[in-house]
Structure 1
Amino acid sequence: MLTPLFERRIDRMNRGIAEGSLTARLPSGETRVLGGRAAGPAAVIELRSWRAMLRLALDGSSGWYAAWLAGEWASPDPVQLFALFTGNRAALAVEARAMGPSLLAKRVWHWLRRNHRSGSRRNIRFHYDLGNDFYEAWLDSRMNYSSAIFRGAESLEDAQAAKLRAMLERTATAPGDKILEIGCGWGPFVELAAREGRSVHGITLSTEQKAYAETRLSGHAGARFSLTDYRDVTGTYDAVASIEMAEAVGRRYWPDYLAAIARALKPGGHAALQFITYDDAMFEAYAANVDFIQRHVFPGGLLISESAFRALAAENGLLWQDQVNFGASYAETLRQWRERFDAAADADRLPAQFDAKFVDLWRYYLMYCEGGFRGGSIDVVQITLVKD
């Protein structure tokens, strides 16, 4: 009975694909080629049940994930499918948003996971305290869980080293200077800066990360770590670094985050930031929704609106300088992470407590993010903020 409605939705998707193509085998057995008007991702999908389209219509990107998990659709390369949708986001983004009671329930749930002090600790535990052995199985040897900077065909290790070097240079510090890192992860930036003579204080809310970093860097003079909320930082530093921490803050707390950076910096001090942005033209619609990542992977998170973030930085006396965008590097980072993750899963090197459903969730998450960067709806930037 609902088949004509779904077929009209397919027709609407066809009109919305300006770049790239989608070869779709429908539940009826018919094969249709959607789009194909200009160069772009060439995606292929087997739509095994119209129920997948119903899930998408009612529950957006979370519903599409549930349909994939249930085997209601399949693709030889889901990354291309995600890239196609994000590349044509002006017309197709509405297809991936929840609606009605589902959206209301998601908004209530997301509000309950907001990043006040106790909420931040809970959300960080949910994502980062899965266990150091889990992340060790597929990250690089320095445990960088953020985009590398690829300039050619170098290894992931070298590209991550290039990212850390670029961040240290942005701090404009010299040996003996003090640096605060907000959201220090497992300590790769602290390690580099301390090795080169800086005194670095890394703060995190993850007990797993702190334990790992303290053990690994116990012999490095000038490296120290604490379980500290960025809102509780005291003291003044020559520079601040923060690598992909801003996305974990949430829009309501962006002013607090930037104010904390401004308070910590000495006059003229530099803050080196790396963060993920969402297309400004579509940001409000994105922020009003609750997507697959927020629901299943990173509760409380929200990508950054560059224009809004820049305005808040200015309000805090922080001059925005030397912006570099490198979304293609993040797509490659995610591709290599997924290869390493799959290899670890195939070799049974992931911790035994994680079942097949968990492994599938993370595989989907890595593909979903890679497609977003390849399609251009999200980007990653480094900037320098200078305290006026």
Structure 2
Amino acid sequence: MTNETAMNSTTAPRSAQTLPAGTPAAARTALKLLHKLQHGHLTVQLPDGTLQHFGHGNGPSAAITLKNWNVCSAALKSGDIGFAESYIAGDWTTPHLTDLLKLFIANRQQVEGVIYGTWAGRLLYRIKHLLNRNTRANSQKNIHAHYDLGNAFYELWLDDTMNYSSAWFEGDAGGDMRKAQHAKVRRALRMAGVQAGDRVLEIGCGWGALAEMATVEFGARLTGVTLSTEQLAFAQKRMAQQGVAERADLRLQDYRDIQDGPYDAICSIEMVEAVGREYWPTYFQSVNRLLKPGGKACIQSIVIDDSLFDRYISSTDFIQQYIFPGGCLPCPREFRREAETAGLRVVDEFAFGQDYAETLKRWRERFLAQRTQILQLGFDQRFMHIWEFYLAYCEAAFAMSNIDLVQYTLVKD
């Protein structure tokens, strides 16, 4: 029986606000925290089948079914990481994962203990995150962990432009994904001032979507670097199929090792988040070093709210542990500071985080629709749960404006 059926059948669980005998202390503590919910409504089905109701009517509405009590101790100890790990283990289910995560984000201040966990509980995760910092050796390993899962995997649920970054729907949230991805790339190239014949550098070229548009539509010569062997092979084949291989120099190279500047323009789409806070100065100094005087760079970055940044960098989260080892989101304040310290002036900021919520929603729907095909590639249910949680986690964060997406245009004076 599915969770939705269980919650709505003629033998629906009985409601009760008193906890059953034998409820563990951690569960009592966690459920007591839920009484603090100020926004939205949460229905919790306990392991014995009874229902508990929390919150009010205004805001997100969600439901969760506990298969056992494990999630309570896991979340209290390790915050969002423990909450995610218990989902991955099958300790709880929900009919709408994104709505549940939105509810917790909306009540972040009220349930802070569940979101962040205890200092001791997260210490091991923090050490693991620090060991994943993006030295040259670790960068290759960290990129391989995420991007070299196989092109066949990503082709199943990304759109056919193979953009693994947000689309820009230009005000039409129901618009065509392919058109919206092209709009995002085209805007980045225009903001960087790319013209026919220009030498353009792309830091983090992915599967070649920007390289294709820069060479085919803009008539530029592009150098692109990646640390993913899978992406490189796909992008090189793509350029050859478009007949622009001679204008696209795609390399397996660390951005820190590029020596053939200066370039007329630089683009970097959602790559700065992967370099790690320790290497932000190196990243922006590299952009400055490789850009000609007066040249422009367009850097698209996910950013975390300024008010959340200090707490964020003092800990670690599910994304850093399971999805992007070594990564760190800048906040707008830190992005500007790092750019200006490196001699780059921010001349334009274009935010479109709600477009990312829509992009992630579509990715998640396609991902779940391709479950059978993904499993046939050799991935297991644990992998499916990790990725479903990742996509929903990010969608909720963008939808609730915990994080945003900005195209920054920088100029080297």
TM-score band by shorter chain is: over 0.9
Is 1:356 aligned with 2:381?
Answer: yes
Question: Paired residue for 2:127, among 102, 108, 112?
Answer: 108
Deviation readout 1:34-83 (Å, 9 max, x if unpaired): 2216x321111123322211011112222112211333221110101111
Q: Is the 8 A contact 1:59 1:103 kept in 2?
A: yes
User: 1:289 corresponds to which residue?
Assistant: 315
Is 1:253 aligned with 2:279?
Answer: yes
Is 1:136 aligned with 2:162?
Answer: no
What is the DSSP-based 3-state SS (H/G/I as helix, E as strand, rest coil) of the residue aligned with 1:217? helix
What is the DSSP-based 3-state SS (H/G/I as helix, E as strand, rest coil) of the residue aligned with 1:197? coil
Alpha-carbon distance in structure 1 between the residues aligned to 2:285 and 2:38: 42
What is the DSSP-based 3-state SS (H/G/I as helix, E as strand, rest coil) of the residue aligned with 1:381? strand
Query: Percent of counterpart pairs with the same letter?
Result: 43
How far has the Cα of 1:371 moved from its partner? 1.4
Is 1:187 aligned with 2:211?
Answer: no
Q: Relative to 1, partners in 2 of residues 1:72 and 1:350: Cα closer, same or farther, differing over 3 Å?
A: closer
What is the DSSP-based 3-state SS (H/G/I as helix, E as strand, rest coil) of the residue aligned with 2:370? helix
Letter paired with 2:133: R
Question: Paired residue for 1:216, among 233, 238, 262?
Answer: 238
Q: Relative to 1, partners in 2 of residues 1:93 and 1:176: Cα closer, same or farther, differing over 3 Å?
A: farther
Q: Is the 8 A contact 1:123 1:300 kept in 2?
A: yes
User: 1:338 corresponds to which residue?
Assistant: 364
Is 1:13 aligned with 2:34?
Answer: yes
Deviation readout 1:133-167 (Å, 9 max, x if unpaired): 11111111121000101221211111111111111
Letter paired with 1:26: L
Deviation readout 1:192-230 (Å, 9 max, x if unpaired): 011120111111111111111111112214211011111
Alpha-carbon distance in structure 1 between the residues aligned to 2:375 and 2:153: 6
Alpha-carbon distance in structure 2 between the residues aligned to 1:351 and 1:176: 45
Deviation readout 1:216-250 (Å, 9 max, x if unpaired): 11221421101111111221011110000011011
Letter paired with 2:380: D
Q: Is the 8 A contact 1:175 1:198 kept in 2?
A: yes
Is 1:365 aligned with 2:369?
Answer: no
Question: Paired residue for 2:44, among 18, 24, 35?
Answer: 24
Q: Is the 8 A contact 2:26 2:72 kept in 1?
A: no
Question: Paired residue for 2:350, among 306, 314, 324?
Answer: 324
Higher relative contact order (CA 8 A, sep 6+): 1
Alpha-carbon distance in structure 1 between the residues aligned to 2:406 and 2:39: 25
User: 2:189 corresponds to which residue?
Assistant: 168
Alpha-carbon distance in structure 1 between the residues aligned to 2:330 and 2:307: 12
Q: Relative to 1, partners in 2 of residues 1:9 and 1:360: Cα closer, same or farther, differing over 3 Å?
A: closer
User: 1:50 corresponds to which residue?
Assistant: 69
Alpha-carbon distance in structure 2 between the residues aligned to 1:349 and 1:299: 23
Alpha-carbon distance in structure 2 between the residues aligned to 1:20 and 1:256: 43
Q: Is the 8 A contact 1:171 1:270 kept in 2?
A: yes
Alpha-carbon distance in structure 2 between the residues aligned to 1:350 and 1:3: 36
Q: Single out whichever of 351-360 and 166-175 deviates more from structure 2.
A: 351-360
Deviation readout 1:319-376 (Å, 9 max, x if unpaired): 1122121111111111111121122223x25652212221222122111111111222
Deviation readout 1:174-199 (Å, 9 max, x if unpaired): 11111100011011001001112011
Q: Relative to 1, partners in 2 of residues 1:64 and 1:5: Cα closer, same or farther, differing over 3 Å?
A: closer
User: 1:62 corresponds to which residue?
Assistant: 81
Alpha-carbon distance in structure 1 between the residues aligned to 2:374 and 2:322: 23
Deviation readout 1:287-330 (Å, 9 max, x if unpaired): 12221111112111111221112111111121112212111111
Q: Is the 8 A contact 2:153 2:377 kept in 1?
A: no
Structure 1, gaps ≥5 residues long: none
After the TM superposition, which residues 304-323 of structure 1 pair with which residues of structure 2 at under 5 Å, given as runs?
304-323=330-349
User: 2:7 corresponds to which residue?
Assistant: none
Q: Is the 8 A contact 2:30 2:76 kept in 1?
A: no
Q: Is the 8 A contact 2:26 2:73 kept in 1?
A: no
Alpha-carbon distance in structure 2 between the residues aligned to 1:92 and 1:322: 36
How far has the Cα of 1:116 moved from its partner? 0.8
Q: Is the 8 A contact 1:134 1:351 kept in 2?
A: no
Q: Relative to 1, partners in 2 of residues 1:72 and 1:283: Cα closer, same or farther, differing over 3 Å?
A: same
